[in-house]
């Protein structure tokens, strides 16, 4: 497992905690500074900056993944309701497609959020190393 994958798993673990972004960065910063060398941090930061998507849809999914997935959950529920009530097996296709789309959107948003959290943490570490008096 590469350092980037380990950092992303640590960030996903922090995302499960109910706390502010600043607290998540603070907790992750301690873990990163102890486990990853400075050169490796810079390499990972450059890699993350290059890989982060900048299109509007990805940014929307990153910030509002549940809101974006909500219509697909509705399609899945409606397909299930209509499929059961009208005995239409074709409506179950909408249920399956809606569920798969909603889950994929949620997963993509979760991955983007964890990448952003690692990137913010690395930027915070770099800023603290460059300006130790301000921290």
88 dihedral zone (left: phi>0; alpha: psi -120 to 50; beta): beta
What pLDDT was estimated at residue 84?
Answer: 84
pLDDT number for residue 82: 86
**23-41 confidence digits (pLDDT tens):** 999 999 999 988 889 999 9
Q: Give the torsion through C-alpha atoms of 65, 109, 41, 129, to 10 deg.
A: 0
**Residues 15, 110 contacting (CB under 8 angstroms):** yes
What CA–CA distance (Å, rounded) separates 8 from 134?
A: 27
Whole-number pLDDT of residue 42: 92
List, for the chain, all residue ranges whose pLDDT scores fall below the cut of 50.
none
The Cα 68–Cα 102 span in angstroms is 8
**Confidence at residue 115, expressed as pLDDT on a 0 to 100 scale:** 95
Domain residue spans of the chain: 3-130
């Amino acid at each position: 497992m590469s350092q980037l994958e380990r950092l992303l798993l640590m960030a996903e673990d922090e995302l499960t905690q109910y706390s502010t972004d600043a607290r998540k960065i603070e907790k992750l910063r301690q873990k990163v500074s102890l486990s990853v060398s400075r050169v490796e941090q810079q390499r990972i930061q450059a890699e993350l900056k290059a890989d982060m998507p900048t299109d509007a849809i990805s940014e929307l999914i990153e910030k509002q993944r549940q809101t974006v997935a909500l219509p697909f959950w509705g399609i899945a529920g409606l397909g299930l309701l209509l499929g059961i009530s009208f005995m239409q097996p074709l409506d179950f296709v909408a249920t399956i497609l809606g569920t798969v789309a909603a889950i994929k959107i949620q997963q993509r948003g979760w991955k983007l959020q964890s990448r952003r959290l690692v990137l913010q943490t690395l930027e915070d570490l770099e800023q603290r190393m460059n300006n130790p008096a301000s921290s």
